[in-house]
Structure 1
Amino acid sequence: MSQDNPSSPFPIPVSDLVPNTPAFENTPQITPTGFREYDARWLFPSEINLSGIQALGFGLGNVLHELADTPALVVGHDYRSYSQSIKLALITGLMTAGAKVYDIGLALSPTAYFAQYELDVPGVAMVTASHNENGWTGVKMGANRPLTFGPDEMTMLRNIVLNNTGVSRNGGSYEFVPDMAERYMADLTKRPAFKRKIKAVLACGNGTAGVFAPKTLSALGIETVDLHCEPDFTFPNHNPNPEDMEMLHSLSAKVKETGADIGFAFDGDGDRCGVVDNQGREIFADKMGVLVARDLAAKHPNAKFVADVKSTGLFMTDPVLSELGAETVYWKTGHSYMKRHTVETGAMAGFEKSGHFFFNAPIGRGYDDGLVTAITVCEMLEQNPDKSMADLNDSLPQSWGSPTMSPYCADTEKYEVVDRAIAHFQQCADDGKKVAGQSIRDLVTVNGIRITVEDGTWGLVRASSNKPGLVVVVESPVSEARMRDMFAEIDNLLSSWSEVGEYDQKL
């Protein structure tokens, strides 16, 4: 296999190799579609092999030399059976590029983000596929804490890796940091324990959060009830995804069974959190964000917040937020987009419907951490001692919203399909054609298309950033029927296109 770059120790990557052949053992295999908008995800080993991971690390090391003052980074891995081997292959590539690597071992993504500050290094590479099914792998990367890569950095990385233009450098080094998990949990628990008695069910979906969440929240005086907290990379119960209704229903049943005050659901790498109230009702993370925003705005008048385009319209219409002078802007969905916009605008917090919450000082450091979210929600409960989570939930103006739904659409086709959807609804607006029985009030195209009609009912179609699929969300402030009208409008359009397949979950 041609190398074509004497400064690189690796051959040029290819996308199609047969496993258990000499070429597969010696040549980097990398499917180009694995380089996504703000992180990298592949099926292992069919879309990337260990040699491909080495080449990825070599490319990332070269990117660090371009973007960071010091080419040093924290590297960690999640609980999947193959994640440690992938991490070690990544490290060899990073060191070949002259990067200084701090290996923190088994970690949550926020543990790795915390370690950037604890060790005073600019970069991070967390080996995780988050909530993706077993068989997926990936890397969340950054070169400038607390930010992670966006499209520009991912394009730079993709070009270096696939074109094999990296340069070998001396100076690469390795240091294992054995106690970072303990240092991370100590940082979260250095505040006083909660005085209010709070019983919380912790659902971890057999992901890595099970190693961290029970110990951390118990240390803060919370009575914890474990639900699927034993790490098991086969995910025998359901995927660790707080947007997955199967996970939320399981959590709801456990909350009602145990009489808990609240339930928390954490995703596979611990940077997201979902909530179930004491009556067992799922509170989608966007509405939970409105409640947290109310609590923060009461302490910090005229606070600024960021919400992603999948989120509820209540951020704009909630009378309590309006009275407190809170200002919310909607931004692109995706943890890197939201994190960057929250940090750069100086907003107090950013809220994403998927459960990524971003807190700037004084609560956090700007990055997403599911445990920080859970602690913040418990603080809200403690400061409202006469109210249950259900009481707070009921205080929101009523609206009917869907879970996040994802019909299959290939990575090579999903963006073109979304462009078609944008053109369709734009034409409807131009022609005065009604959508879901009403005229279009406005269209937002910052990330896919969000269509709002006269009565405030809205629907969103966008491309998934981390797997082959689209994203569909609908909400109505009027009725469940109106929500379903909007979904039917969108679903009928998407179902008419052969590129769109089955949904992961559906109304």
Structure 2
Amino acid sequence: MRDLSGVFKAYDIRGVVGEQLDADLVRDIGAAFARQVTDAGGIVIGHDMRASSPGLASAFAEGATREGVDVVMIGLASTDMLYFASGHLNLPGAMFTASHNPAKYNGIKLCRAGAAPVGQDTGLTEIQREVEAETPPTEGGTAGRLETRDMLTEYVAYLRGLVDLSASRPLKVVVDAGNGMGGHTVPAMFDGLPIDVVPMYFELDGSFPNHEANPLDPKNIVDLQAKVREVDADAGLAFDGDADRCFVVDERGEPVPPSAVTALVAVRELKKDPGGAVIHNLITSKAVPEIVAEHGGKPVRTRVGHSFIKAEMAKTDAIFGGEHSAHYYFRDFWRADTGMLAALHVLAALGEQERPLSELTAEYSRYAASGEINSTVDDQAGRMAAVKETFASRDGVTIDELDGLTVELPSGGWFNIRPSNTEPLLRLNIEAVDEAAVAAIRDEVLAIVRA
């Protein structure tokens, strides 16, 4: 019996191609997924620019059609384009990508019809069990049909229908695609709009020759920051490898915190739907719930992670959700995440007024933040308990354990410390009134964690 525990993750399937993931395994995964969704009318499949992606996508399609399920192949796609196809066609989907991971990796993100997520608790565990048990193919049925369809034009039209940039003042925007799927989607998205795109690393190359396609790491946006300043651009955008996340820098080349983007987009969405709920995870700046409430919305706090965000969006019928990691979720986009739509909102907000982006976003950035600080520890639970014990005895301190340990301090600052699910790490995030207050909290907490 196979052991696939190293490949099946909480929300997707991911591994080193040729060692953990190959065509035979992917064919079996395609068959197992097809058996889960036999009555859905088919499966839509997309893939990123990695050298291994087309072959793996074809193997998955083989497995699915062998089970009698029809397949629509959309070819090169960003992850949010696959979600669009799943929603637009009302079909389950499979996206072949390892996002920002190095070239030797690949993976599969699965969803049900309407881009509903598939994770460990919503079908992924059952697929793993079937594949590990080497469940034989269904015998005697008619093979499913294979159709090829290009969805890029429809994807572009749908997003541009949600955010109108046609009346924007002219903007110069540097876009760093990181040799990922943004190089495929951005040219089509901005064609004909009053946006002068200055492209960086648009060549599709899954070996990522210029830098890792992970703009969450500051070293990977250095080139973008320099180019924004060099060409006197109004803004800069950086997409990750599968282009479902988008990071923003202002005209000075300074990063715009994802929490500020969340607040800005939330305000725009609330104008369309006054009183709506807006989801934010517990590491997002407290400016987000403050601003949402000030604009008549209902802020809803959740754990970190797209499955929690999407579940809470469905429960509350939320209009929008944002995470500190630059994932942005829209009710108008089947509650799925799309960095491209968030980017369109930011550029529309910038283009409908005359202030530079730094001034526009300053009103959404109220506090200083540490960013994520990781500590390697042998005893995650023990270190967490030590932090809790230290702070629980202090006057005016409140603690909750919705996701890790969140400690609210009487000064107005707060911090969250969470264990990694996959590594021996504790992740610390801090927010306070200014940088000095952040530093003081950081030093005290790290002294306990790293003792």
Partner of residue 409 from structure 2, selected from 453, 456, 463: 453
1:24 matched residue in structure 2: none
1:357 equivalent to 2:328? Answer yes
Distance 1:470 1:314, change over 3 A: farther
Moved more, 276-285 or 339-348: 339-348
Verify the 8 A CA contact 1:310 1:473 in the aligned structure 2: no
1:200 matched residue in structure 2: 173
| % same residue | 27
Moved more, 209-218 or 484-493: 484-493
Paired residue secondary structure (1:305): strand
Structure 2 length-normalised TM: 0.90
2:262 matched residue in structure 1: 289
1:374 Cα deviation from its structure 2 partner = 1.0
Verify the 8 A CA contact 2:93 2:115 in the aligned structure 1: no
Partner of residue 337 from structure 2, selected from 347, 350, 368: 368
1:83 matched residue in structure 2: 53
Distance 1:487 1:160, change over 3 A: farther
Q: Which letter does structure 1 place at the counterpart of 2:401?
A: T
Verify the 8 A CA contact 1:194 1:222 in the aligned structure 2: no
Paired residue secondary structure (1:155): helix
- Residue by residue over 1:417-459, the C-alpha shift from the partner in whole angstroms, topping out at 9 and shown as x without a partner, is 55445433443455x1x6xxxx672333333333332223233
Verify the 8 A CA contact 2:46 2:77 in the aligned structure 1: yes
2:125 matched residue in structure 1: 155
- Residue by residue over 1:344-374, the C-alpha shift from the partner in whole angstroms, topping out at 9 and shown as x without a partner, is 321110001111111113xx33211121111
Looking at structure 2, the residues matched to 243 and 400 of structure 1 have their Cα atoms a distance apart, in angstroms, of 17
Q: Which letter does structure 2 place at the counterpart of 1:366?
A: R
Q: Which letter does structure 1 place at the counterpart of 2:385?
A: A
1:151 Cα deviation from its structure 2 partner = 2.7
1:347 equivalent to 2:318? Answer yes
Distance 1:156 1:440, change over 3 A: farther
Pairs within 5 Å for 1:133-152: 133-152=102-121
- Residue by residue over 1:234-262, the C-alpha shift from the partner in whole angstroms, topping out at 9 and shown as x without a partner, is 11222212312112332221111111111
1:403 matched residue in structure 2: 371
Verify the 8 A CA contact 2:387 2:449 in the aligned structure 1: no
Looking at structure 2, the residues matched to 314 and 237 of structure 1 have their Cα atoms a distance apart, in angstroms, of 35
Verify the 8 A CA contact 2:178 2:200 in the aligned structure 1: yes
1:113 equivalent to 2:83? Answer yes
Partner of residue 437 from structure 2, selected from 472, 475, 482: 482
Looking at structure 2, the residues matched to 109 and 218 of structure 1 have their Cα atoms a distance apart, in angstroms, of 20
Looking at structure 2, the residues matched to 144 and 102 of structure 1 have their Cα atoms a distance apart, in angstroms, of 13
Paired residue secondary structure (2:189): helix
Q: Which letter does structure 2 place at the counterpart of 1:181?
A: L
Structure 1 length-normalised TM: 0.81
Q: Which letter does structure 1 place at the counterpart of 2:78?
A: L
Verify the 8 A CA contact 2:398 2:409 in the aligned structure 1: yes
Verify the 8 A CA contact 2:380 2:426 in the aligned structure 1: no
Number of equivalences: 447
Q: Which letter does structure 1 place at the counterpart of 2:386?
A: H
The Cα RMSD (Å) is 2.6
Pairs within 5 Å for 1:258-277: 258-277=231-250
1:234 equivalent to 2:211? Answer no
Verify the 8 A CA contact 1:126 1:140 in the aligned structure 2: yes
1:13 equivalent to 2:2? Answer yes
1:407 Cα deviation from its structure 2 partner = 5.4
1:167 Cα deviation from its structure 2 partner = 5.2
Identify unmatched segments of 5+ residues in structure 2: none
Distance 1:218 1:406, change over 3 A: farther
Q: Which letter does structure 1 place at the counterpart of 2:2?
A: P
Moved more, 374-383 or 164-173: 164-173
